[in-house]
Amino acid sequence: MNGYFFDMDGTLYNNKFHEVSEKTFEMLNELQRQGHFVALSTSRCQMELKNLPSCMRNFQFDCMISDGGALVLNKQKEVLEMNCISKEILNRIDSFCKEHGLVYRYSTRDGNYFGTPCSKYAHDIYFHMYLNFPIYKPYVNDDVLNILVFCTDGMKEQFKLAFKELQLVEYIDSIEVRASAVDKATSVKKLMGSHEFETTYCFGDGVNDVDMLKMADVGVAMGNACDALKQVSDVVIGRVDEDGIYYYLKKQ
């Protein structure tokens, strides 16, 4: 049995057209028919998965790593691991964002919220990615898995300096925040330790997939992946809109 771990956006899911190709979905089913372990490994929270095409929403992954590694669910959607950001740090982030006029979104086990009022800028970015957006609910003592802070370059440096003890991933228009030492790679490694995979394959396209691909037996970068990921991958396959996963795995 091999282990196959797939990122969602830009890997399984074509964000430009908001679709999962029939060939990609066919291959996921084929891997499971062959008795392999098929897992999702995404920075999306659970609520952000609800607007995916029905074929992907209903697919029974053997394991689901979400919130960038902070939440791990088994096939029955039971919690295997849950790593929250401390409430003391959450209050610091909340105060920082309010002081600097930043929009931030936070995710919980079953929810997804803006902790500060949403700007049109943040709303448009968010809706473009996920076809939904969180409601505004000020943070009050929730157990938080993942935060996305919308900010520009100058403010990014201030935020990174203020919260350098956390796990941070920088994107063009935001910073993703998780508890220290929490990421996709760590969660995948733990699952590798509890299963006897012959070979572990990890597929991704973004900077938040770098460590995951580096520790896999075979790190697979999509053709549309960022340069940083292609540089650490073992193989670069076709783009998500070229059915790269299907044609690569059909040859294995």
Domains and CATH numbers, the chain: 3-83+183-250 (3.40.50.1000), 87-178 (3.30.1240.10)
pLDDT of residue 128: 84
Q: Quick one: tokens of 82?
A: 């849950």
The least confident of 32-36, 55-59, 199-203 is 55-59
pLDDT digits (tens, 9 = 90+) for 40-49: 999 999 999 9
Bridge-partner residues for 131, per DSSP?
none
Residue 101, Ramachandran bin (φ over 0: left; ψ between -120 and 50: alpha; else beta): left
Residues 87, 141 contacting (CB under 8 angstroms): yes
Bridge-partner residues for 218, per DSSP?
201
DSSP 94: H
Cα–Cα distance between 230 and 213 in angstroms, integer?
Answer: 10
pLDDT of residue 51: 87
Mean pLDDT of the chain: 95
Print burial letters for 104-116: b (CB count within 10 Å at least 16), e (below 16).
bbbbbbeebbbbb
pLDDT of residue 137: 97
pLDDT of residue 125: 85
Task: Reply yes or no on whether the pLDDT at 201 is more than 90.
Answer: yes
